[in-house]
Structure 1
Amino acid sequence: MKPFLILQLRPETPVSDDEFEAFVKHGGLGPTEVVRLRMDQLELPAINLDDYSGVIVGGGPDDASNPMEKKSNQQRSYEPWLYRLLDEIIERDFPYFGCCYGLGALNLHQGGVVSKEKYAEPVQGIDVALTEEGKEDPLLAGLPETFRALVGHKEACQNIAPGAVLLGRGEDCPVQMVRFKQNIYAVQFHPESTPANFVLRINVYKHAGYFPPDDAERLIDEVQKEEITVPGEILRRFVERYRRG
């Protein structure tokens, strides 16, 4: 079985480890079905996509839309490498699932607008509503037309790039899930995350600009009341659809 390549950018090891374990768990992935690359730490290798079933990109504190002078050193290092990989993913219509940053980077790469102008969302649970195209998509068909998901982001897609199909929308942030071509997906929400995962992130990122630090305990209380099931099923369906020998 060819593994899935999981690309991460979180420099905080406890959160990075927790995110990776969540991708494995909710994706239904076995220990031999994943290759993990922490883009924040490694001298990044050449990637042969033929060695993998698909690529999954997680989120993190870096914003894809930051001007160069505001990008972290790690972002300046890994982003050109990631964009070269996206060149090939788009050209081949290779299975891709981007989450939060993984959406912003993809949309920018394809000519869409991502910025902090509007549509940012605080750490919270939201309703995601499927579009008519979403209801027919193989990853979403038969799922509830509206479902709860966890979000928290400082930047957002102001529009979607040419050729993208909007699959899911939110009330405060219109672009929640898109597809490019047939096999390239990205979401604004966090499909790997449960309330427990978000409690850890709230504690770690309370001074990262997502929310006023004094709101942390209130946000934890609110997040812990959420019942999140459908986003993990979407991730599992992606893995099941593209898993290959």
Structure 2
Amino acid sequence: MNDYRYLLIQIRDFEDPIRQQEIGCFADALRCPPESITVFDLLSTSLDASHLAEVDMVMIGGSGRYSVTSSAPWMQKALVSLQYLLDSGKPTFASCWGFQSLARAAGGKVIHDLEHAELGTSLVTLTEAGKLDPIFSHLPESFEAYMGHEDRVIELPPGTTLLASTERVAQQAFRFDGRPVYCTQFHPELTLPTLISRVEAYPEYCERIAKVPYDVFRRQCQAAPQCETLLRLFRDHFLD
């Protein structure tokens, strides 16, 4: 086992029931001990060099109940921190809220769009660039992935390459060209059991997005083993 150090940027209230679960999800996905992950609270703190100095890789996950489309002061401060992260050159993997926030920080466009929201598992298909990408090329041309979002990126920032799409949402994964930064709308840090427990923690999502009773929703979800390999593929490519 390697001794890499990780920074997990979180956008979650202290009482968020998924706050601790998210740490375990990333640790399991990376096959590393939870103690190797340092948590950074983006809601209350601005990122600087001291936070990045002792870590090898940064992750950004979901957000609970915070939208990237917000114009509140906390979001404006967060965007400055995220631009600093992009400029730092630190290997970064961002999923869901992280995907949307890095897109916005770099000049892309994000909207709230309940009509195109996704929850559960969806079939993701690689673009031609994705099939040739050094990380995504290890995955099948189409694979299931864990979803949970109402906001979506409708315009990628300049200097990025689209890697994957679903029928419902075109922008599902992209990389920053020339930077060790990859972003996915879906959640490669999850497994089927952790996806289910996350939806249990936010039952309103099932009613609002899936529009089916919880027991029906649960039966519709599938395991997504190929999706679960992405974080390790990213880590091994940039750090090993």
Give the TM-score band, short-chain normalised: 0.7 to 0.9
Are the structure 2 counterparts of residues 43 and 118 from structure 1 closer, same or farther at C-alpha, using a change threshold of 3 Å? closer
CA deviation vs aligned residue, 1:92-128 (integer Å, no higher than 9, x gap): 4321111110011111111111002476323121111
Structure 1 match to 2:12 = 10
2:182 counterpart SS class:
strand
1:62 corresponds to 2:59:
no
Take 1:58 and 1:66, find their aligned partners in 2: how far apart are those partners? 17
Which structure exhibits the higher relative contact order, with contacts defined as CA atoms closer than 8 Å and separated by 6 or more residues?
A: 1
1:184 to 181, 191, 194: 181
Are the structure 2 counterparts of residues 138 and 43 from structure 1 closer, same or farther at C-alpha, using a change threshold of 3 Å? same
Structure 1 residue 143: Cα displacement = 1.7
Q: Is the 8 A contact 1:153 1:210 kept in 2?
A: no
CA deviation vs aligned residue, 1:174-200 (integer Å, no higher than 9, x gap): 011000123111100011111211222
Q: Is the 8 A contact 1:119 1:156 kept in 2?
A: no
1:160 corresponds to 2:182:
no
Are the structure 2 counterparts of residues 158 and 118 from structure 1 closer, same or farther at C-alpha, using a change threshold of 3 Å? farther
Stretch moving more, 208-217 or 99-108: 208-217
Structure 2 match to 1:28 = 31
Q: Where in structure 2 are the equivalents of 1:21-170 lying within 5 Å?
A: 21-40=24-43, 43=45, 46-48=48-50, 49-60=52-63, 61-68=65-72, 76-77=73-74, 79-117=75-113, 120-170=116-166
TM, length-normalised to structure 1: 0.85
Structure 1 residue 85: Cα displacement = 2.9
1:206 to 200, 203, 209: 203
Alignment gaps of 5+ in structure 1 = 69-75
The one-letter code sitting in structure 2 at the alignment partner of 1:133 is A
Take 1:212 and 1:230, find their aligned partners in 2: how far apart are those partners? 23
Percent identical across equivalent pairs?
Answer: 24
TM, length-normalised to structure 2: 0.86
Q: Is the 8 A contact 1:27 1:232 kept in 2?
A: no
Are the structure 2 counterparts of residues 33 and 139 from structure 1 closer, same or farther at C-alpha, using a change threshold of 3 Å? farther
Are the structure 2 counterparts of residues 207 and 213 from structure 1 closer, same or farther at C-alpha, using a change threshold of 3 Å? farther
Alignment gaps of 5+ in structure 2 = none
Are the structure 2 counterparts of residues 27 and 103 from structure 1 closer, same or farther at C-alpha, using a change threshold of 3 Å? same
Stretch moving more, 97-106 or 47-56: 47-56
1:87 counterpart SS class:
helix
Paired residue total: 233
Take 1:214 and 1:118, find their aligned partners in 2: how far apart are those partners? 15
Take 1:100 and 1:51, find their aligned partners in 2: how far apart are those partners? 25
Take 2:25 and 2:217, find their aligned partners in 1: how far apart are those partners? 20
